[in-house]
Amino acid sequence: MNFTSTLSEDSIKTHCQNIESDGYSVIKGYVDLANAAKLNALADDIFITKRGGGLTAAPVGRQKVIANDPIVSNVLYYNEEFLNLVTSGDHLKVYQWFLNDRYYGLIDQSNPNFMLAQCNLRKGATAIDYHIDVRMNFEGPQTWSMQGILALDHRNRYNGGLKVIPGSHRQSGFPSDKTDKSSEIFVDLEPGDMAIFHSTLFHATTPVTEGYDPTWGLLLTYRSWWCKPQYDYVRMLPAEMTDKLTNAQKTLIGFHSLPPSNPEASPSLRIGYA
């Protein structure tokens, strides 16, 4: 099932320009309200029925504060609709602008040659201070890692929503107590809105105001094909799921970036669809 809307070439270009200048952009209504509600109900079902409502393994470092938040790591493992959602759709054309390796050669540039690194559901019950999501940060707009948040319900400054410091993706270094936060912006998302941003953009999440409840967000990370994967989706996902995927989807899952175990295999790192 296709949950997402089609983006025009002009719209894609605008989002890419926004990301280059500010570090982020929001695709309004990328999933319509009815489908956002379906995905939201599906998220509840996966968390309660398939995950048992239990806690998942917590991140390390600064983000370990979210250890008690409702989280479903690797939601694509539990449901094919989420698998298809994150491996197809026009949001990938925005990521291609930044993450496609122009020298890859073995896959046409109209298709992605980068990979999905993470795909989690999280209710933002716990605020996270300003941070970036990579350990290697350098000056300028170039990047090898990008994030995304698809709001499945209202996700705003009152219930664990996103806030950012525009332009901070262009500086090297990391946020600290001395970071100037005077230009921070709340990125309030309606159900079905999708925020796309640099992993090096200084960003945080807000606390939950009394009287409000945290809501599900689909949290995505995409990275250059040569990066070490955060999860081995090729071995994680069952064949009955991956056999249905297109070549482009398989690229995103990591099928075309696998180092060979056969000592007689080709030494080429880039294998494309071959």
Interval 37-92: pLDDT, tens: 999 999 999 999 877 777 677 677 667 788 788 999 999 999 999 999 999 999 99
The answer to whether residues 98 and 15 touch, using CB atoms and an 8 Å cutoff, is no
pTM of this structure: 0.94
pLDDT of res. 55: 66
Give the residue ranges of the chain where pLDDT is below 70: 1, 55, 58, 61-62
Separation between Cα atoms, residue 169 and residue 73, nearest integer Å = 26
Cβ neighbours of 36 (radius 10 Å): 22
Separation between Cα atoms, residue 191 and residue 134, nearest integer Å = 27
